[in-house]
């Protein structure tokens, strides 16, 4: 497994060792002990989610103000541009974002810790996006930040107008009342 810390060092790329031969490939997509060592955390995962999207679908930027979720994300079919935004007021990278192209071909996972908003844009015709969470989804605590908030300045690789859920289309810009301490 190869670990790469991004410009926000708590956000980590995890590249599994892939073993291949004429029959195909095998790789360990998740190992709790290896994950904890790589991220220097002790999080446990409680929920797995699967999102299928077509080209141009942009999901996010989502987070839970209470019961924040860490997310270990990966693409098992297609290609996405994945984004994490640091919403921790006391962080030196507060309000900064990192983006990474994830694909089924490269099998890279991205760790998005609690305290971050998360979103992704499907770049391929379709994508299957799978992620583990460190806490359960709580709709009453869910918040959304506008995907194109100029304060954040996320450089989405758009080739068309994004396809948005209603809640994402009407999401407000970042609000200081809805951030982590």
Check which CATH number belongs to the domain holding 64 and give it. 2.60.120.10
Kindly give the parts of the chain with pLDDT less than 50.
Answer: none
Residue 23 covered by a domain? no
pTM of the model: 0.94
Residue 15 covered by a domain? no
Residue 133 covered by a domain? yes
Structural domain that includes position 143: 44-178
Residue 168 covered by a domain? yes
Given the residues 43, 62, 63, 118, the one annotated as active site? 62
**Does 62 participate in catalysis according to the annotation?**
yes
pLDDT at residue 163, rounded to an integer: 98
- Dist. CA 1–CA 29, nearest whole Å: 10
Residue 146 covered by a domain? yes
The tokens describing 13, both together, are 């790329």
pLDDT at residue 181, rounded to an integer: 66
pLDDT at residue 138, rounded to an integer: 96
What total number of domains does the chain contain? 1
- Dist. CA 86–CA 70, nearest whole Å: 12
Given the residues 131, 136, 141, 180, the one annotated as active site? 131
Residue 33 covered by a domain? no
């Amino acid at each position: 497994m190869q670990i790469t810390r991004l410009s926000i060092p708590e956000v980590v790329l995890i590249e599994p060792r892939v073993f291949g031969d004429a029959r195909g490939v095998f790789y360990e997509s998740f190992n709790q002990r290896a994950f904890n060592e790589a991220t220097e955390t002790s999080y446990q995962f409680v929920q797995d989610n699967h999102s299928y999207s077509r080209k141009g679908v942009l999901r996010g930027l989502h987070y839970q103000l209470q019961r924040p979720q860490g997310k270990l994300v990966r693409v098992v079919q297609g290609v996405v541009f994945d984004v994490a935004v640091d919403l921790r007021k006391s962080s030196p990278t507060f309000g900064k974002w990192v983006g990474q192209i994830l694909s089924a071909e490269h099998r890279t996972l991205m760790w998005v810790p609690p305290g971050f908003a998360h979103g992704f844009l499907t770049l391929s015709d379709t994508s299957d996006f799978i992620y583990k969470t460190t806490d359960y989804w709580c709709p009453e605590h869910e918040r959304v930040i506008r995907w194109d908030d100029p304060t954040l300045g996320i450089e989405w690789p758009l080739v068309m107008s994004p396809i948005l859920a209603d809640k994402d289309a009407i999401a407000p810009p970042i609000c200081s009342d809805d951030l982590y301490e």
